[in-house]
Amino acid sequence: MFDITNMALFARVVKCGSFSEAARQLGMPKSTLSRRINELEQQQGVRLLHRTTRQLKLTDVGRAFLVHCQTIADAAQAAQRVTQQVQEVPRGRVRVSCPHAISQSLLTDLIPLFLLQYPQVELDLVVTNSPVDLLRDNIDIALRVRPSIEDSSLIARALGSSPSVLVAAPSFIQKSLQNRRKSAFSHPAELVDLASLSLHFSSGRYQLQLQHQQTAEQLSIAIQPRVITDDMGVLRASAVAGLGMVSLPTYLVNDDINAGRLQPLLPEWRLPLGVMHLVYPYRRGLLPAIRALVDFLVAELPTQGGLYGLVD
């Protein structure tokens, strides 16, 4: 069989006018290129080029042979453009992982917009608050809310942050104060025995981390939640019903606070910010569908302004 690669190399050498220039353009050693042309001549059983120290000159048969070699080289380039064009169009399945809070509050509206924009892309959305291993679980993109991402095998892009607030129903606060014969809560230690509500934490250790806004004093208090769920709507409704205190994103409870259904506890103490990261495995090149979704989320998620819930 003919070695089509050698034929294309022959056409490139003639076009460049020298082995040195052709080797430079092709990014290969000159000696390798010269050997490949020698192999081609041996395979064809004819001399294609007259070589001197100063120039290359086609033989008569080499000139006729070149026409067909150039046709092959042009066809190969055209074929490559076809595959490149196909690869440049986002298509195929993208597997995404995110916590329940982000899925419910952010992606509900954004996913349809993305899929309408890229009709050849399919989305496999894995909604879980449990940690995922992107490589083991075959995840292309993950949205995570963490203070930082320290895995060097991943590319992490911080998209924004959101404050959370510790709240409870006024009736719950009033009853708790009466039981303790206090007029107000002033320190996190006073909350240890209060009934609480919480998202699932993968560590199994349920605690509140608080920092005083003025003194920067930091405290961590253990809690034993009465309700544990990944549904923030259930936590909010349970808090409004007076079942316990809960830490929730500010955006989710602002209306309840303004309407008096919920009341902040220890307003001088703040909870850790939830920082949302877009994470994907380190690769030299991303498939167009994955790159399109990464670019879309980077552009759209920060515009949602503080809609991130803190999850473990």
**DSSP-assigned letters across all residues of 98-117:** E-HHHIIIIIHHHHHHHHHH
What is the model's pLDDT at position 138?
Answer: 86
pLDDT for res 275: 78
Predicted local confidence at residue 147, as pLDDT: 58
Q: What is the pLDDT of residue 308?
A: 40
pLDDT at 224: 86
pLDDT value at position 116?
A: 95
Task: Calculate the CA dihedral of residues 78, 81, 83, 86 and round it to 10 degrees.
Answer: -130
CA distance 286 to 77: 23
Q: Which domains does the chain have, with CATH numbers?
A: 4-86 (1.10.10.10), 92-160+274-304 (3.40.190.10), 164-270 (3.40.190.290)
Q: How far is CA 202 from CA 1, 162, 195, 206, 264, in A?
A: 61, 21, 20, 10, 26
Rounded Cα–Cα distance for residues 144 and 3 (Å): 51
Angle at 84 between CA 83 and CA 85, to 5 degrees: 90
pLDDT at residue 250, rounded to an integer? 83
Mean pLDDT by 10 residues, the chain (312 residues): 83 90 89 92 92 84 92 82 71 89 81 94 89 84 74 77 88 91 87 89 80 88 88 90 92 90 93 83 75 90 47 34
Amino acid code (one letter) for 231: D
The two three-digit tokens of residue 6, written as one number:
């050698």
Structure tokens at 280: 């994907």
Among candidate residues 139, 128, 122, the one with its CA nearest the CA of residue 98? 128
